[in-house]
Chains A and B, each alone.
Chain A
Amino acid sequence: MTEIITALLFWVVVSLGFMSALLIIVAYLLWADRKIWAAVQMRRGPNVVGPWGLFQSFADLLKFAFKEVVIPDGANKGIFVIAPLVTATLALAAWAVVPVSDGSFFGLVEGRWVVSDINVGILYLFALSSLGVYGVIMGGWASNSKYPFLSALRSAAQMVSYEVSIGFVIITVLLCAGTLNLTEIVLSQKTGLGTMLGLPNSFLDWYFIPLFPMFIIFFISALAETNRPPFDLVEAESELVAGFMVEYSSTPYLLFMLGEYVAIVLMCAMTTILFLGGWLPIIDVPVLNWVPGILWFLAKLFFVFFMFAMVKAIVPRYRYDQLMRLGWKVFLPISLFWVALTAGVLVAFGWAP
């Protein structure tokens, strides 16, 4: 009995610690997102709260939390309140299987740095990211208003469409790695193209080189899946005011925005794990491999997020029919072809794991 309770307490502490670290990182990524966006547009961005505006996200949090929650009269109250909770909970729950490092950290931590090291980790992530659409649909429908409903319908179609190509991209990576466990997917990138040529373990082994077209497709699909610009048709201001969030205010709105950003950071982490070698150092030589794995992981995550932010700042919004065309007529055939090609090459050369 006491073992169960201590084990339970241990997992509660680990999960809460992981979650708070994640939320602090998300708060600063949100700030960085606004700063990058501002820099591209030659503005200053948030610079009032704290030095360089560093506490802006926390000030926003307080502002949201202290405002009044307005529930529209004709709204379906239960679903209206549950929808943001669904978005935020699902986005946070997905992080349970994300491994951030491996091995010892100055003797403090040993083994794999992950809350739950399950066999089907990548499927779990895929399942939870495909559930993200429910928060949007429920919120849009329960608001009992035309703009949110239109926005919910078009965003549901968008997210379901891009999941197809994300699924195929994940399959190509799985074919190369031969496992569904996220830690082992990263470890399988220790050897690859570079080591075949007789070079030491380096970035040449990571999957983004042999699967480069898939890497690009995954990046763009991740933008569409998380409703980031240029695919933010769900809240296209010129057409739909603020999309499915029109009727939301205060903490429910905060939960929607939090869920959205946590999902974006999750997609960055997935790109890092699937294509950029997770916590593996750029070149496995002394000095570089003395750096703890978690720092490499965070550096790669920040780099992918920087790309996300730059896309938001630079690329104009897609038209809806163009978005659908890109998903179904361009990405789906290319990714399907690459699945077949990858499987064929792996079998023909006997490289299949």
Chain B
Amino acid sequence: MIPALFFYLFSAIAVASAVMVISAKNPVHSVLFLILCFFNAAGLFVLLGAEFLAMILVVVYVGAVAVLFLFVVMMLDVDFVELRQGMLNYLPVGATVGLIVLVELALVFGSWVINPSSVSTRAAPTPTDITNTEALGRILYTDFIYYFQAAGLILLVAMVGAIVLTLRHKEGVKRQNISEQVARNPATAIEVVKVKPGQGI
């Protein structure tokens, strides 16, 4: 009974906050609702018995990605009223495209036949003798090790690319060289000058 209660609670909040993401006037509110939505998705993962995925969702998406989202949205100061001004002009085109996609989706899912035997494979029971994290790790680092490594390499290339694109070495900027500062000693840093009275250096 309690899991069912929490399922409806989490899903209702997730759907409501997803609606608020696109309907909120203030873009910062939108991002905050998106975070609420992520959070409730993590709650649903916990109910499914996938606690590792739930925690990773919170750490990666809520703790890092959404923070950067929020950062950008706060700094950009997007004026949504201005963006919405031409809405009526584009409404017919947009509505037509939306309608076509809806019909296509209806046709695809209407004619979709689910193989009865696939239901049992989909609902694979959560392993009872080993923990969730261990089960995921065993699959990831044995059966799917090459895909896992490839995904890691792609991320590495993306990171290097982002750094290369944004790194600029400006000329004439004074930079701090920590090792040089630490290596300073009285012999090189101080110069003792005898100044004769009445004369400058």
* Interface pair A156/B71, CB less than 8 Å apart: yes
**Chain B residues with CB below 8 A from A119, complex form:** 51, 131-133
On whether A131 and B51 interact (CB within 8 A), knowing A119-B133, A120-B132, A137-B67, the answer reads no
Of all chain A residues, the one with the shortest Cβ separation from B2 is A4
**How many angstroms between the C-alpha atoms of A76 and B31 in the bound complex?**
15
Inter-chain CA distance A4–B70, complex, in Å, is 41
Q: Is the interface of B mostly helix, strand, loop or mixed?
A: helix
Determine if A29 is an interface residue (Cβ-Cβ < 8 Å).
no
**Interface presence of B58 (CB below 8 A):** yes
**Contact of B106 with A by CB under 8 A:** no
Would A134 and B51 count as touching, CB distance under 8 A?
no
B35 x A134 contact (CB < 8 A)? yes
Bound state CA distance, A127 and B53, in angstroms? 12
* CB–CB A321/B176 < 8 A: yes
Partner of A130, one of B32, B63, B71: B63
B122-181 contacts to A, CB under 8 A, are 131-133, 176, 178
Given A119-B51, A120-B55, A127 contacting B133 (CB threshold 8 A):
no
Main secondary structure of the interface of A (DSSP, over half): helix
A133 and B131 form a contact (CB under 8 A)? no
A163 to B176, CA, bound (A): 25
Judge if B62 is at the interface, Cβ distance under 8 Å: yes
B67 pairs with A180, CB closer than 8 A: no
With contacts A119-B131, A120-B132 taken as known, whether A131 is within 8 angstroms of B2 at the C-beta atoms is no
A180-B134 Cα distance, complex, nearest whole Å: 10
Given contacts A123-B52, A127-B55, contact A156 B67 (CB under 8 A): yes
A298: interface (CB < 8 Å): no
Do B62 and A79 touch across chains, with their CB atoms under 8 A apart?
no
Question: Interface size (A, Cβ < 8 Å)?
Answer: 27
B78 sits at the interface (CB 8 A): no
User: Which of A4, A126, A156 interacts with B1 by CB under 8 Å?
Assistant: A4
Count of B interface residues, CB-CB < 8 Å:
27
A134 contact set on B, CB distance < 8 A: 35, 67
Q: Which residue of B lies closest to A157 (CB)?
A: B71
Known contacts A126-B59, A130-B59; is-contact A120 B67 (Cβ 8 Å): no
CB neighbours (8 Å) of A153 from chain B are 71, 74-75
List chain B residues, Cβ under 8 A from A137.
67, 70-71, 74
Is residue B102 contacting chain A, with contact meaning CB distance below 8 A?
no
Given known A4-B1, A120-B51, A180-B133, contact A133–B67 (CB-CB < 8 A): yes
By the criterion CB–CB under 8 Å, are B32 and A79 in contact?
A: yes
Tell me the A289-332 residues at the B interface (CB within 8 Å): 321-322, 325
Closest Cβ of chain B: how far from A263's Cβ, in Å? 14
Q: Which residues of A contact B32 (CB under 8 A)?
A: 79, 138
Contact, CB under 8 Å: B28 / A141: yes
How many Å lie between the Cα of A118 and that of B46 in the bound state? 11
**B201, CB-defined interface residue at 8 Å:** no
A163, closest chain B residue (CB): B63
Take A137-B70, A156-B71 as given contacts and tell me if A123 and B59 are in contact as well, using a CB distance cutoff of 8 Å.
yes
